Structure 1
């Protein structure tokens, strides 16, 4: 108990820094991703391929039109067979954007340098009133 009283400022600093690290995750996927509008431009202008990294059940409940479902756990094995051209831009999508950020790291490790995550995920896509397919 004495340690806590004497070092309250260290504990406060740890809590504040932890909160700052969690803020991007709680706000929908963090920085560095594409907005829904930018994703649409990338899809239309540069023929980007949309990869949905959700589980098959989530994908069936709703996904970006034309998206290919490759669950995050299978991404490293299946992505090279789904998208053979590594120069094609990839838009990674999940429900909120967190898994999509991890998928970008996996894709870049595999040599897909034009991979980007949809910031905010499918929720941001729906919020922008963009079409969602089911099934």
Structure 2
């Protein structure tokens, strides 16, 4: 098995190099001091016990196909102009959710800049929520 891995890496060094570069970039982005990521179980606990708010940053059309109960939808490209919608939730924990968890970091940082202190990112986003068999609400 190890010999096959070494042979593959030797024969396809370009693929291995790209994989390592992507892995390093992901690790760097997750550890560079941005808002903390939370798992689906932690997010559920926060919503139930701490009245945390879920901010779904997906486009409205995608949001309507299925979102977390009670989530507020503000697409990521409209966050700066819609911060007033979050004013009454400023003292609560806000969990930012996107489709896969890859786009929520920038929005979470934007909220931090706007003075929201308890901001978290949903690890794996709505995709992970669905994979964990947690409920989604559809709207028309």
TM-score bucket (shorter structure): 0.7 to 0.9
2:53 to 41, 45, 49: 49
TM-score by length of 1: 0.78
Task: Pick closer, same or farther for the CA change 1:16–1:82 going to 2, 3 Å.
Answer: closer
Partners of 2:99 and 2:127 within 8 A in 1: yes
2:120 to 94, 116, 129: 116
Which residues of structure 1 form unaligned runs of 5+? 1-10
1:72 aligns with 2:105: no
Count residues with an aligned counterpart: 121
TM-score by length of 2: 0.75
Task: Pick closer, same or farther for the CA change 1:17–1:77 going to 2, 3 Å.
Answer: same
Which residues of structure 2 form unaligned runs of 5+? 1-13
2-side partners of 1:83 and 1:52: how far apart?
A: 16
Q: CA deviation at 1:81?
A: 2.5
CA RMSD after TM alignment? 2.5
